[in-house]
Structure 1
Amino acid sequence: MERNDLLDHIFWHTLTGAHARHADGGGGARRYTQGFSPIVAFADPARPDFAALAAVCDPGEPFYCDSWNGAAPPGWKIDAESTMFRMVWRGAMPAADPAPDAQALGPRHAAQALELALLCKPGPFGLRTIELGDYFGCFDGERLMAMAGERLRAPGLCEISGVCTHPDYQGRGLAKKLILKLVRRHLQRGDTSFLHVMRSNDAHQLYLRMGFEDYLESVVRVISREES
């Protein structure tokens, strides 16, 4: 697949571009403001600017960090490490909205969305994450069964993220319908959908069958400043 600099460095381009108003930091480092997704990014992962990052991170505060694989500098520690796939949609336009009854999620749904994310662990998620894009949910009465929405973005690109289904409602294809709903919306406005999935997640094969292709596999770490 042809390389795309925006997609190669999507975390940095998002935090210095579309989501700059939701970011803190300077120099060669940025983080989402507290309350949003606990993610950091470096302008150059090969030469990460930890000095700039330290100024906006509390000791013990965990962050997800993509594409940096060097040794932790003094004052920092690596709490977890794995790899994830960045996948890009290469399928056709879904013929119709597969989830027409899905509700747009707003501030009144924030606590429910966070509760579902903490249960399902789709990746870094905060109380205000649903403010980063359009989020949709499937409800059983007032109970949130499943959700999916948008996070990272750059010109022509939009990430599908926060994909969750409550264990009580699995097997109904709810997450797949929400993903395809978002793909359709993206294609209609001229954007390409992409998403992230951990190597160990069985959903990787599902996404391949749906029409996503692997773009790259990168190191992902959870890092934090050491306590004094």
Structure 2
Amino acid sequence: MASDLDTGKIGLTYGQTHAASSKFIIVLKGRAGHISKPHKGVDAIIMAAEVIQALQRIRTRQVDPMETVLIGIGRIKGGDRYNIIPERVEIEGTLRTLSMEVHKKIPALMEKAISCITSSMGGEYELTFVEGYPGGINHPDTTKFVENCGVKLLGRDKIEIISKPSMGGEDFSCFLQKVPGTFIRLGGGGENYKYSLHHPKFDINEDSLVIGAALFCQIVFEFLG
């Protein structure tokens, strides 16, 4: 379901459709104390601020600028009270790349940056990577077949060829590594359906479900001849 695509349309991509994605968890460990005596503690929040900045510099200073890399932070948790130096901060985020080769190199760069920062400030850390999904690559023949089915069912003006891959992760990418296939974006956007996935106001335009079901039927009929 794609809210950035009008209801009634479908979107197809020839080639890479999604990024490779992984989740990471960073635990920074300092030493608690009264905030009036910062020299006697190790502030995990200050460490976290330095770490987050350093992670962004990996993309801009340690990776070929022609490569697409996203290191995003989605959750930070640390501290219990305004006047206590926190001894622990948890950071959760995601690594997204279009190249699997680049994807495999980033964790070591992250570890080096985090290690340098925490050791220089007298802290410790734990870094955990949770393997996600590979980059999704649509099979050209299957994509063309689905495009032709869409044109026959909906008309040429309802088929949108999307040239750029999404930096989203997709479990369907695992299937694409095993058998030829293509990822179809089902348009679900409109005046009352403008919020994207993961937005708290996201809603499904149920009118698009009819189109999706009809397209799958068309694909089956055409495939069976």
TM-score (norm 2): 0.26
Larger relative contact order, structure 1 or 2 (CA cutoff 8 Å, min sep 6)? 2
Higher helix content, 1 or 2: 2
Give the TM-score, by structure 1 length: 0.26
More strand by share: 1
